[in-house]
Amino acid sequence: MGRGPWRLARAIAAVLAALSVVAGKPAPLPWTKAELSTTNYASAIVLANLDADSLLDIAITDYGANKVSVFLDLGRRGFARVADVEVGFAPQDLAAGDINRDGIADLVVANEGAGSLSLLIGRGDGTFRSQAEVPAGGGANSVAIADFDRDGFPDLAVASLIGRSVSVLYGSPHGLFSVPVVLPAAIAPINLAVGDFDRDSIPDIAEADHLYDGVGIYSGRPGRRFAERFDVPVGQRPCGVTVADVDVDGIDDFIVTHLRSDQLWIVYGRSHKGYRSRRSVATGHRPYDVACADFDRDGRPDLAVTLEEEAAVAFYEPVHDRRFRRRGIVPTGGAPRAIAAGDLDGDGFADLVVACPTARTLSILWNVRGH
């Protein structure tokens, strides 16, 4: 054998070694990190425009302090924290939407300890002019806003851990909600998300059940009805569930994280019935939550996963056949849990907000590809 093929083989080995470094730890990704302090234990994050500018603001539930904290985005990567809002005992989750249809974003908070929902009506300056608390089942731990009966008034879906159920509360012209319609869950619902998984234009609910090896789907039907729950097997002990159109086919999909088995599952929606396929992605240790956005703007959504035990966010990009590969990781300020994606600085590239509850911080990961 001459030296040419040997050199070629060595060059190929060098390229493969370099690629394995890129796929593993240090991550040459264009992210700049900043930290915001929280009061106690940030359990959930929502990004919404809560004031009069065009920038997304940050609202979090503070589980230990029984409060919602709002960080107004002032532009130029600066934030102003407005006065915290008292909510019910042990707030675990929140959602943003215009509940009373006055054009101003409002917040709904699931209070796990109180078994209630706090309704915070926005003033449009990051503060809230009224607060109501409605019963929502014991261990209310996850909430979403959607118009399930398509009457133009926002409705609420809430998971009840102790009630072992998902409840739907229908909105009315007066901003009041109906008595809950209770849908039985499997064992221990800990998270839900809403999307249209069968493309019939009626919102459906995906519910992750912590003690059951699957995700329950409640398909919305015309009127105030849901089809009988059906389960999608997604491995042991699902934790987080996030809705996105991962394969860009116009049908919502959902992504499920698994704290204990170090993987996530992507369940792809399908027109008319059920789901088309599902795919697992091996992650690092203790994937808690996932955000889906097209971070590099190549037209294909990417995944950002909080790895609690690695104190980092891991990034995954799509490859062929609905599979994903790891692109790199970015360290956070502590063990990360909740994550949310949105363009905070208005440069057209999605940024990330990551809650690190034990460090009492939010890590802001600025996506600086556009700079």
For the CB of residue 213, give the shortest distance to Ca ion in the complex, in Å: 23
104 near Ca ion (CB under 5 A) = yes
- Residue whose CB is less far from Ca ion, 147 or 296: 147
Total binding residues toward Ca ion, as defined by CB under 5 A: 21
For the CB of residue 361, give the shortest distance to Ca ion in the complex, in Å: 30
For the CB of residue 200, give the shortest distance to Ca ion in the complex, in Å: 4
73 near Ca ion (CB under 5 A) = no
Give the footprint of Ca ion on residues 215-254 (CB under 5 A).
Answer: 245, 247, 249, 251, 253
- Residue whose CB is less far from Ca ion, 37 or 130: 130
For the CB of residue 312, give the shortest distance to Ca ion in the complex, in Å: 27
- Residue whose CB is less far from Ca ion, 7 or 273: 273
* Residue 335 to residues 56, 89, 92, 205, Cα–Cα distance (Å): 24, 24, 17, 29
Instruction: Write the interaction track for Ca ion spanning residues 179-218; mark x where CB under 5 A is met and - where it is not.
Output: -----------------x-x-x-x-x--------------
93 near Ca ion (CB under 5 A) = no
- Residue whose CB is less far from Ca ion, 153 or 316: 153
Instruction: Write the interaction track for Ca ion spanning residues 138-167; mark x where CB under 5 A is met and - where it is not.
Output: ---------x-x-x-x-x------------
Q: Give the 3-state DSSP-derived string for the chain, with helices as H, strands as E and coil as C.
A: CCHHHHHHHHHHHHHHHHHHHHHCCCCCCCEEEEEEECCCCEEEEEEECCCCCCCCEEEEEECCCCEEEEEEEEECCEEEECCCEECCCCEEEEEEECCCCCCCCEEEEEECCCCEEEEEEECCCCCEEEEEEEECCCCEEEEEEECCCCCCCCEEEEEECCCCEEEEECECCCCCECCCEEEECCCCEEEEEEECCCCCCCCEEEEEECCCCEEEEECEECCCEECCCEEEECCCCCCCEEEECCCCCCCCEEEEEECCCCEEEEEEECCCCCEEEEEEEECCCCEEEEEEECCCCCCCCEEEEEECCCCEEEEEEECCCCCEEEEEEEECCCCCCCEEEECCCCCCCCEEEEEEHHHCEEEEEEECCCC
For the CB of residue 11, give the shortest distance to Ca ion in the complex, in Å: 40
For the CB of residue 342, give the shortest distance to Ca ion in the complex, in Å: 19
Report the residue from 98, 317, 343, 347 that binds Ca ion according to the rule CB under 5 A: 98
For the CB of residue 168, give the shortest distance to Ca ion in the complex, in Å: 9
- Residue whose CB is less far from Ca ion, 196 or 351: 196
Interface positions with Ca ion (CB under 5 A)? 98, 100, 102, 104, 106, 147, 149, 151, 153, 155, 171, 196, 198, 200, 202, 204, 245, 247, 249, 251, 253
